[in-house]
């Protein structure tokens, strides 16, 4: 089974609007971390936001927020006030185990291509 | 910019050849992970090095091997190249201490390998 599922191959949003990118995950480990990365066409993975499985509140970082619904095993990324520079591929990823686990292996989804239009 | 550098940026090889990709980790980071990203896919974990030792491996054959040097830079070596090895290879560095690896991984810009 896929550990990370991103069902939206592509999303379009108008500048200044908000957009939600979907991510569901599958793990039996009670301790895990969820990440969102942005990958522009240049290829570099840019870290956006992190949510730990025991975190009580949804993570926020500037215009990025993570809508964490543990019972549904979903971790959707919300981008508010979209900008043209937000156009990129977005990946959801998961690490299993405690934050201090020996192996920080990340499992990635297939990504969502976001296009912001003027 | 994360401070993680990779070389070369692009590389073209033919089937059967061998290739070495290089990664310099961010200052102070002692752990390097390597990922393969095929076109249209998410990155797949190859292996990780912590303090010059392999610290875990994904589902990749033995012809994918690596090294980490005392300065924590790393190499990924691929022998007997196959067409399916064409991909973007990403390295990520992070900080580990006393066998514990923290999870903030900082990625380099990647090396795009084409196998003809």
Q: Chain B closest CA to A117's CA: distance in Å?
A: 22
Q: Is the pLDDT of residue A7 over 80?
A: yes
Separation of alpha carbons B107 and B82, rounded Å: 25
Is the pLDDT higher at B95 or at B16? B16
Contacts of A1 (CB under 8 A, 6+ apart): A26
Cβ B105–A108 below 8 Å, yes or no?
Answer: no
Which of these ranges, A58-72, A90-104, B3-17, B85-99, has the smallest mean pLDDT? A90-104
Q: How many pairs of residues across A and B have Cβ atoms under 8 Å apart?
A: 76
Is the pLDDT higher at A39 or at B50? A39
Angstrom CA distances, A80 to A62, A88, B46, stand at: 9, 15, 34
Q: What is the pLDDT of residue A42?
A: 87
Q: Is the pLDDT of residue B6 over 70?
A: yes
Angstrom CA distances, B29 to A46, B45, B56, B57, stand at: 17, 19, 17, 19
Separation of alpha carbons B82 and A42, rounded Å: 24
Q: Is the pLDDT of residue A56 over 80?
A: yes
The average pLDDT across A55-61 equals 93
Q: Chain B closest CA to A6's CA: distance in Å?
A: 10
If phi > 0 it is left, if psi is from -120 to 50 it is alpha, else beta; for residue B46 that is: alpha
Cβ B42–A44 below 8 Å, yes or no?
Answer: no
Band (pLDDT 50/70/90 cuts) for residue B26 is confident
Say if A44 is an interface residue toward chain B (CB within 8 Å).
yes
Going A14 to A18 to A21 to A22, the CA torsion angle's sign is: negative
Band (pLDDT 50/70/90 cuts) for residue B59 is very high
Average pLDDT of the residues of chain B: 90
């Amino acid at each position: 089974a896929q550990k990370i599922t991103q069902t939206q191959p592509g999303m379009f949003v108008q500048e200044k609007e908000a957009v939600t990118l979907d991510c569901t995950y599958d793990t039996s480990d009670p301790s895990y971390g969820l990440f969102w990365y942005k990958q522009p066409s240049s290829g570099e993975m840019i870290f956006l936001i992190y949510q730990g499985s025991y975190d009580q509140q949804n993570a926020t970082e500037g215009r990025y927020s993570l809508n964490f619904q543990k019972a549904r095993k979903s971790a959707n990324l919300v981008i508010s006030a979209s900008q043209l520079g937000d156009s990129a591929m977005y990946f959801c990823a998961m690490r299993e185990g405690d934050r201090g686990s020996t192996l920080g292996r990340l499992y990635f989804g297939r990504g969502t291509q976001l296009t912001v239009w003027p | 910019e994360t401070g993680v550098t990779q070389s070369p940026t692009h590389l073209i090889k033919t089937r059967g050849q061998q290739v070495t990709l290089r990664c310099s980790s961010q200052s102070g980071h002692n752990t390097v992970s390597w990922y393969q990203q095929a076109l249209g896919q998410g990155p797949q974990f190859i292996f990780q090095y912590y303090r010059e030792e392999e610290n875990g491996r994904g589902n990749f054959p033995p012809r994918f091997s690596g090294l980490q040097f005392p300065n924590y830079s790393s190499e990924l070596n691929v022998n007997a190249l196959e067409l399916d090895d064409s991909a973007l290879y990403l390295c990520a560095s992070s900080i580990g201490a006393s066998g514990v690896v923290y999870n903030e991984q900082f990625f380099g810009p990647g090396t795009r390998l084409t196998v003809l």
